[in-house]
A = this chain, B = another copy of it.
């Protein structure tokens, strides 16, 4: 029994739409039944045909309206949103109001207010919503969370996320993926801080199981760019731990280098997304340990073992991490029950923390790099 879903966005040429569809296919419990794959009428239908989806619609409004009228056994049950950020909120809210659960690409919205509106709609309608912070879908990230939970007080966190695809002046013009990501009207107020900084932020909160309380940040960008493409921040976490976060899209030579180190009383651990199947664990006066992912890997937590498809030494990757999010949310929608163990996906609460981070980073930087609390940000952000 699979979950029928309709996709909004993700037509030809889009990167993340195809990723969502493949992830859903790997998950095995989703069935792509409908789609409004583009805001451009002709392109929407053409993409539907190319993708091989029976019910292709001209617009997301049409999709929601028409699907809602289909018989329960046929109509979609959930909507996957892979549009530019500014469309997340209108689509998500309308989808939930039309009775569909929602799985939404990150960041969950272009502004903090929009994110809050989604959260309110979820509460109002009783619908479920997951946000795809991919990297927490990796098995060893979940294992890291388990290890940290049992390792005494948290001391220090260092996370860096660096890319180079915007490292040249002309990259904004030449790259289709860049166009909306660097336009505040479509991306929101965050550039790199929103696009990848929130991944780093969410990864810290996930692994440590603690909220980041305040940040002290500096944002920058290459000449002529409106949004930040490079940012650094000091962090203070619940319970007193300190940390640092950097994200940048102008770091020449780095493809997609997300790396995190977390230190507790009893251990330090290190994970790097580009080699996701290894987790380095350091202890005082003992050999460093390399924990390795794998189905059936006896020393991993049982819920970490359970989500893997291949035994140790048969590497899983980005798409499988993404699939883990789809599978967990799909399972929850289908059964109405959340699985045990580490959360299987980012909730609205997590996603709103990320939105606060974007806003606080900007505010801190504009105020000359001052400590800015995330929990006291006023509701009516510009």
Q: Hey, which chain B residues are within 8 Å of A257, CB to CB? A: 313
> Whole-angstrom distance between the alpha carbons of A270 and B379 in the complex?
42
- Give the Cβ gap from A230 to chain B, nearest Cβ, in Å: 6
Q: Is B292 touching A289 in the complex (CB atoms < 8 A)?
A: no
Q: Hey, which chain B residues are within 8 Å of A22, CB to CB? A: 26, 28, 309
Q: Is A230 touching B268 in the complex (CB atoms < 8 A)?
A: no
A25-B25, A216-B369, A315-B276 are contacts. A252–B264 as well, Cβ < 8 Å?
yes
Interface positions, chain A 294-325, Cβ under 8 Å from B, are: 294, 297-299, 309-320
Q: Is A319 touching B26 in the complex (CB atoms < 8 A)?
A: yes
A285-B299, A319-B316 are contacts. A290–B290 as well, Cβ < 8 Å?
yes
Q: Hey, which chain B residues are within 8 Å of A288, CB to CB? A: 253, 289-290, 292
How many of A's residues come within 8 Å of B, CB to CB? 84
> Whole-angstrom distance between the alpha carbons of A380 and B22 in the complex?
46
Of A86-94, A122-130, A243-251, the one contacting chain B is A243-251
> Whole-angstrom distance between the alpha carbons of A235 and B236 in the complex?
18
Q: Hey, which chain B residues are within 8 Å of A230, CB to CB? A: 155-156, 242
Q: Is B155 touching A250 in the complex (CB atoms < 8 A)?
A: yes
Interface positions, chain A 3-17, Cβ under 8 Å from B, are: 15
Q: Is A316 touching B318 in the complex (CB atoms < 8 A)?
A: yes
Q: Is B277 touching A287 in the complex (CB atoms < 8 A)?
A: no
A132 contacts chain B at the CB level, 8 A cutoff: no
Q: Is B242 touching A315 in the complex (CB atoms < 8 A)?
A: no
Apart from A216-B216, A370-B370, what 16 extra A-B contacts exist at CB < 8 Å?
Answer: A25-B26, A158-B160, A168-B284, A218-B242, A232-B234, A232-B243, A244-B244, A252-B282, A254-B313, A274-B313, A275-B275, A276-B315, A287-B290, A316-B319, A368-B370, A368-B371
- Residue contacts A-B, CB under 8 angstroms, 30 given: A22-B26, A25-B25, A25-B26, A25-B28, A155-B251, A156-B248, A164-B282, A164-B284, A167-B284, A216-B369, A230-B242, A234-B234, A250-B263, A251-B261, A251-B263, A251-B268, A253-B267, A253-B269, A256-B312, A257-B313, A274-B277, A281-B287, A285-B299, A287-B290, A287-B291, A288-B289, A289-B289, A314-B317, A319-B319, A368-B370
Question: Which A-B residue pairs are the 4 nearest by beta carbons?
Answer: A253-B282, A256-B313, A255-B313, A317-B317
